[in-house]
């Protein structure tokens, strides 16, 4: 597969662009360019601005993908070159909602961590959460890497109400992680159905981009193919 469409990848909370590494190489092997946007995780506005700079730098048609928190970010861009959206176990607030509204919509999984700001007002993921809830299907080595590179998120990212989300104006896909202990499958199903997204299911954890990268890559290639045929 060779395409003029570029896939831009937005990482979630407690992560960075390296979380997409296996997906990026999978796309490369299929002849599709990818770029990982680096989000500061300081405010929702800051994150959207950082994403927009990446979209401007890439130019040309884009399939825009998000994991987890970043679903609120990709839904808030107004970049004209975005042709489709792909949500990987991601949060999708509607107009007037916050990321926290959908994240806390249902009862948390019993193994989900309790999140409290540190002395600087930032949210870190506790070490025990990586094997218990964040990436329980990952290898010990992968979990060690995820913990080592984690980046904290400011509560300001998840408490700002969003405007009209882009998923109301672009085709969207959703990968529902059925054993997600961070964002319950029930919440993911609600959001995907509300979006009218094309839904694919995977019986894995919150980090399929690490633990099931081929599943994520295949979904992205599906979106790229659809976008390319529509250009």
Tens-place pLDDT, residues 195-213: 999 999 999 999 999 999 9
Q: Tell me the average pLDDT across 105-118.
A: 95
- CA 15 – CA 103 distance, rounded (Å): 17
Dump pLDDT digits (tens) for 178-193.
999 999 999 999 999 9
Q: What is the pLDDT of residue 1?
A: 54
Token pair for 72: 């609120």
**Predicted TM-score (pTM) of this structure:** 0.97
Q: Give helix 213-230 / helix 21-29 axis angle, nearest 10°.
A: 50
**For residue 62, what is the enclosing H or E element?**
strand 62-67
- CA 121 – CA 65 distance, rounded (Å): 28
**2 has a pLDDT exceeding 60:** no
**62 has a pLDDT exceeding 70:** yes
Dump pLDDT digits (tens) for 32-56.
999 999 999 999 999 999 999 999 9
Q: What is the pLDDT of residue 3?
A: 72
Cβ neighbours around 58 below 10 Å, total: 18
Q: What is the pLDDT of residue 230?
A: 74
Fold of 6-230: Rossmann fold (3.40.50)
Q: Find where tokens 């993911």 sit.
A: 188
CB 212 within 8 A of CB 135: no
State the number of CA atoms in the 13 A half-sphere of 65 facing the CB: 31
**7 has a pLDDT exceeding 70:** yes
**For residue 26, what is the enclosing H or E element?**
helix 21-29
**Residue from 65, 71, 14 nearest 44 by CA:** 71
Q: How is the chain split into domains, by residue range? A: 6-230
């Amino acid at each position: 597969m060779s395409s003029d469409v570029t896939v831009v990848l937005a990482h979630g909370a407690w992560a960075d662009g390296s979380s997409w590494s296996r997906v990026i190489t999978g796309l490369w092997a299929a002849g599709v360019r990818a770029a990982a946007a680096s989000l500061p995780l300081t405010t929702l506005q800051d994150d959207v601005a950082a994403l927009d700079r990446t979209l401007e730098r890439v130019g040309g048609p884009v399939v825009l993908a998000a994991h987890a928190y970043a679903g609120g970010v990709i839904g808030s861009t107004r970049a004209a070159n975005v042709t489709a959206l792909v949500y990987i176990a991601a949060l999708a607030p509607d107009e007037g909602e916050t990321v926290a509204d959908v994240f806390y919509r249902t009862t948390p999984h019993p193994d989900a961590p309790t999140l409290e700001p540190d002395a600087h007002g930032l949210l870190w993921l506790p070490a025990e959460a990586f094997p218990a809830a964040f990436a329980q299907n990952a290898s010990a080595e992968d979990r060690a890497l995820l913990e080592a590179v984690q980046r904290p998120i400011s509560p300001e990212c998840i408490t700002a109400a969003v405007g009209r989300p882009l998923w109301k104006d672009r085709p969207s896909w959703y990968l529902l992680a059925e054993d997600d202990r961070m964002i319950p499958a029930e919440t993911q199903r609600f959001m995907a159905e509300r979006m009218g997204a094309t839904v694919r299911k995977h019986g894995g954890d919150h980090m399929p981009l690490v633990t099931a990268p081929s599943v994520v890559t295949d979904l992205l290639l599906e979106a790229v193919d659809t976008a390319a045929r529509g250009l």
